[in-house]
């Protein structure tokens, strides 16, 4: 018997009957859970839009803000398919983010960014502060590490103190919060991967699977 192709829709599982009939059974593993997503940058700063870092690919300028939005939008859709309520915090400064965290008390908070340093810098890095956040970071990071599309920076991900740039991590230490830097746009070779729909989908799925894994353990 020919095995049916696996369904890619994360909201369903494949069931094969004796007659090889395939049906989709809806799953809602995140039903009743609230996840807050913050695609980095996009807020008003110094009288203009803070687009984050910008990268050159040939004659094209690519803004970090746009890469963040593309991945975060995919994460949002996947989470909603799994039954989660998603608070999408875009075009918002750090103070407003902290106020919304305090208001909604989400089960997890994820900030999505892309890194920039040198042309040789490479890899994904997950930042966290506090025990709950570190547990969530570990679950998300294990899926990125398993993917192996680009280098994974497993050992540089603990934030000992919350600097101004990382205050998005938690307004309340009881909220598990992770800042994802899913690759270096400043690395020309890595940037070519970061802009692809294939990698963006993989990155989004890694984040979603990590959240699912964490939520399952904490039920």
Summarize pLDDT for 98-136 with one digit per residue, the tens: 888 888 999 999 999 999 999 999 999 998 878 888 899
User: Which two tokens mark 21?
Assistant: 């009939």
What pLDDT shows up at residue 50? Answer: 74
- Asked whether residue 214 is assigned to any structural domain, the reply reads yes
- Asked whether residue 23 is assigned to any structural domain, the reply reads no
Q: Which helix (H) or strand (E) holds 23?
A: strand 22-26
Spatial separation of the C-alpha atoms in residues 127 and 110, rounded to whole Å: 10
Spatial separation of the C-alpha atoms in residues 18 and 40, rounded to whole Å: 49
Alpha carbon 7 to its chain's center: 22
- Asked whether residue 49 is assigned to any structural domain, the reply reads yes
Cβ pair 33, 84 in contact under 8 A: yes
Number of domains in the chain: 1
- Asked whether residue 1 is assigned to any structural domain, the reply reads no
- Asked whether residue 4 is assigned to any structural domain, the reply reads no
Rounded to whole angstroms, the maximal C-alpha distance in the chain is 64
Task: State how far the alpha carbon of 113 is from the alpha carbons of 17, 67, 76, 124, 175, in Å.
Answer: 43, 8, 15, 10, 19
What pLDDT shows up at residue 171? Answer: 53
Which of these, 103, 123, 107, lies nearest to 115 by C-alpha position? Answer: 123
- Asked whether residue 2 is assigned to any structural domain, the reply reads no
What pLDDT shows up at residue 7? Answer: 32
- Asked whether residue 7 is assigned to any structural domain, the reply reads no
What pLDDT shows up at residue 168? Answer: 61
Spatial separation of the C-alpha atoms in residues 44 and 92, rounded to whole Å: 8
Identify the CATH number of the domain in which residue 153 sits: 3.40.630.40
- Asked whether residue 192 is assigned to any structural domain, the reply reads yes
Task: State how far the alpha carbon of 158 is from the alpha carbons of 134, 161, 174, in Å.
Answer: 8, 9, 17
What pLDDT shows up at residue 17? Answer: 46
Point out the residues of the chain with pLDDT beneath 50. 1-18, 160-165
Domain residues for the domain of 94 are: 28-218
């Amino acid at each position: 018997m020919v095995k049916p192709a696996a369904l890619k829709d994360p909201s369903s599982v494949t069931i094969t009957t004796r007659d090889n009939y395939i049906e989709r059974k809806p799953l809602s593993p995140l039903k009743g859970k609230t996840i807050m997503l913050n695609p980095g940058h996009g807020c008003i700063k110094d009288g203009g839009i803070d687009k984050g870092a910008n990268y050159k690919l040939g004659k094209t300028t690519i803004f970090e803000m746009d890469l963040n939005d593309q991945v975060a939008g995919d994460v949002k859709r996947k989470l909603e398919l799994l039954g989660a309520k998603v608070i999408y915090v875009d075009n918002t400064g750090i103070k407003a983010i902290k106020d919304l965290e305090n208001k909604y008390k989400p089960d997890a908070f994820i900030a999505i960014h892309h890194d920039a340093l040198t042309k040789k810098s490479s890899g994904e890095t997950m930042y966290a502060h506090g025990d709950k956040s570190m547990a969530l970071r570990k679950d998300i990071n294990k899926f990125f590490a398993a993917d192996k599309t680009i280098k994974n920076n497993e050992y540089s991900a603990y934030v000992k103190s919350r600097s101004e740039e990382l205050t998005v991590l938690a307004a309340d230490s009881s909220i598990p919060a992770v800042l994802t830097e899913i690759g270096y746009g400043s690395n020309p070779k890595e940037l070519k991967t970061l802009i692809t729909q294939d990698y963006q989908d993989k990155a989004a799925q890694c984040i979603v699977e990590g959240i699912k894994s964490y939520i399952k353990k904490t039920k």
